Each structure stands twice: as structure tokens, then as C-alpha cells.
Structure 1
Amino acid sequence: MIDTTEQISAVERTIGSRVLEAGEARVLTASQTYDAPIEEVWDALTDIERIPRWFLPITGDLRVGGSYQLEGNASGKVERCDAPTGFAATWEFGGQVSWIEVRLSPAPGGGTRFELEHIAHVDEAMWAQFGPGGVGIGWDSALLGLTSHFAAEGEGVDPAQAAEWVASDDGKRFMALSSERWAEASIAAGTDEAEARAAAGRVLAMYTGEGPGPEM
């Protein structure tokens, strides 16, 4: 089992911005160092047979120009691939298009540093309502899955057990800690503390099924 507090503390989270053709976008960055060679981390991230062992079932063509579909989640197109150091793809979900960029590099103390950027044009009302945790909690869960995958020497994550864990006290605590850390990243980026904490509470309630989702 992965220690919840240890995993949450292993991830670095920042909020920034980037100017795109369509205007300024928000950039959420999540980084973690894994005790594995860069080629091993790359394989876990890009092998279509291996991705479901730590993330979600996926179909498609994982080559530049190819499309992918994550079961019950996002779809998109692979825009760039620089094996084994990084890739970029669109992230299309709920009628919205955003982008992900992944970079891998040797960590100073050994292992591989994983860095994920999620770049999105976010409606101001949506940001005020849910803050970065709207996608940040999901990415924390993905990084947890990857940590578990390497700890189990490549064994898969059982979907039934994963669903049971999410509903458990430990799973809810993980999401609460994740929401709290993303709120802290938002505050560090300039968001009013009271507003950031309130958004963190709403997004946590949404993830745990105790509150409403986005208002459409």
C-alpha cells in the first residue's frame, strides 16, 4: 500500500499561465520523481497495453497525428513525441479542448523526474467555483496510480479495488489532501486565500459525491 501523506508530499504543484493564439491560458503543473530509469517511465506512459495498469483503459494510435480515447474520460490527438523525454497531446473532454505536455528528465539524486503540464482556457466563473482542483485531484490520482505501478513492479491496478479505495476513508483523505495542496498552489499564484479555500471545499464535495458538479 502507498502511504497517502507520503504520496501527496512527493508531488510538486504550481499554477501559472501561458499566452496562446486564443489568449491567456492557465497552466497546472504536477511533478514527481520516480525511482525508475527514464526508459521505464516512458514505456509506462506510452505503451497502450501498459497504460491501463496504472491509469485507464485506452484505445487509439499513440503516434504523432494519431488519436486516443481514454475509457469514460478524455480523448485527443498526439501532437508531438520526443522519445524518451516527452510528448504533447490535446485533451478533449466535456466539449472543451485543452492540452497536456509531459517531460521526463534524469533526477539529480537518481531516478526520473516526471513533469506534467495541463494547459487550458478556463472560464473565470468555473475557476472561481472549483479552482485548480477540478483537474488537479484527477492528476494526483493518476500519479498515485503510477507510483503504485512502479512499487508493484509493473503489476496492474485492479479497477474494483481502486473504486473501493476511492470510496474508503483513506481515499477521501487523499482527495482532501490533494484539494488542500492545489488550493495552496493557487494561493501562491495570487488567488485570494478565502476564495481558494472555498473553491477547494466545493471541488472536494464534487469529487466525493457530496456536492454538485459544474454549473452548465
Structure 2
Amino acid sequence: MNPLIEKHDDRYRLVYDEVYATGIDDLWDAVTTRDRLARWMADYTGDLRLGGTWEVASSDGEGTWGRGTITACDAPRSFTTTWHATGEEPTELVVRLEPVDGGTRLLLEHTGIQSIFYGAGWQAYLEQLTRHVADADAELGGEDAWQARFAELKPQYDARFGAL
């Protein structure tokens, strides 16, 4: 993965553009359905539809690490949500899906982020999504596997963000 990374004042914009070997309806389900999100990303609570609000519990179960509101939705093609990580100002996350030869293109655009950790974090999650859509029942290793991959990716993202 080689996302676009831009700096605007003291905030960043990340854009990931990846093709997944699955149909648009399956990928939409993987990125918008609570039980599937929990397999490759995190446990979400709330209402994941237009106007709905959501929260993500912290891995220790002691509160949340983020919340948001779904501000636009055109199933199965796109959704937009606010993304409010604990301790940060709200940002915007847009996910677009498009059928292409060999599967479905996912364009993930996260704008207004304040932390460089999103680069390695999103890549680690999107790699888990790749494995999830290849085999929805596969064991992905949970939080420990994500943390290990994040640690591997972090130095290259530190360098990329540092060069901006």
C-alpha cells in the first residue's frame, strides 16, 4: 500500500486506494456491518446508518477510543462519517466502493487527522480487511497481530510524515 499523504497546516489527509478480490456487496457488508467490522477492525456499537451515531470501545473495555455520526450514505457505493478520536478534534472519513476488473476498489479518505499514527494504523487495518474478504472465517490474530503489524509499519510512516 502506498497511500497519498498530504499536510494542510497542522493536519493531514490520507487516501488509500486498494482493490479487493470480492464483489461490491460483499465489501460493503464487510465495511458497514458490525459483526464483520469486529472481525477485521474493532467492535462498534450504535447505529451504522445515515444519521446514526457510533462508538468504538477501547481494547481494555474501559471507555471508547472514538465515535462519530454517519453524515452521508449511498449503499453500496459510499458513506461519510465524522471521526472523533478521544483527545482529538473531529475529522472526516469517506469510504467509496467501485466495481472494477478483479473485484472492488475501495477508496478511503481520512481528512483533518492530527496524529501521524493513522498512517500505519489504517494500513494495518486494511491489510486485515484483505485477509477477511479472502476468508471471512479466518483468524486474523486480533489486537496483538494488529499491534505487531502497526509496529512494523510505523517507522516508514514516521519517515513519510516527517518529510512533509
Higher helix share: 1
Deviation at 1:151?
Answer: 2.3
Query: 1: CA distance between counterparts of 2:47 and 2:146?
Result: 30
Query: TM-score, length-normalised on structure 2?
Result: 0.81
Deviation at 1:162?
Answer: 2.5
Q: Secondary structure at the match of 1:49?
A: helix
Larger radius of gyration: 1
- 1:49–1:63: structure 2 CA closer, same or farther, 3 Å change rule? same
Query: 1: CA distance between counterparts of 2:30 and 2:56?
Result: 15
What is the aligned partner in structure 2 of residue 27 from structure 1? 13
Number of equivalences = 157
Letter in 2 for 1:75: R
The counterpart of 1:16, out of the listed 2, 6, 25, is 6
Moved over 4 A (4+): none
What is the aligned partner in structure 2 of residue 70 from structure 1? 56
Equivalences for residues 97-112 of structure 1 within 5 A: 97-107=90-100, 109-112=101-104
Q: Secondary structure at the match of 1:41?
A: helix
Query: TM-score, length-normalised on structure 1?
Result: 0.63
Aligned-residue CA RMSD (Å) = 2.5
- 1:79–1:149: structure 2 CA closer, same or farther, 3 Å change rule? same
Q: Where does structure 1 lack aligned partners over 5 or more consecutive residues?
A: 1-10, 192-216
Deviation at 1:29?
Answer: 0.9
Query: 2: CA distance between counterparts of 1:148 and 1:100?
Result: 22
The counterpart of 2:126, out of the listed 143, 147, 150, is 143
Q: Answer whether contact 1:75 1:93 (CA < 8 A) is retained.
A: yes
The counterpart of 2:22, out of the listed 7, 14, 36, is 36
Percent same amino acid among aligned pairs? 31
Q: Answer whether contact 1:64 1:80 (CA < 8 A) is retained.
A: yes
- 1:102–1:166: structure 2 CA closer, same or farther, 3 Å change rule? closer
What is the aligned partner in structure 1 of residue 61 from structure 2? none
Q: Answer whether contact 2:19 2:106 (CA < 8 A) is retained.
A: yes
What is the aligned partner in structure 2 of residue 120 from structure 1? 112
Q: Bigger relative contact order, structure 1 or 2, given CA contacts below 8 A and separation 6+?
A: 2
Q: Where does structure 2 lack aligned partners over 5 or more consecutive residues?
A: 59-64
Deviation at 1:16?
Answer: 2.8
- 1:86–1:183: structure 2 CA closer, same or farther, 3 Å change rule? farther
What is the aligned partner in structure 1 of residue 41 from structure 2? 55
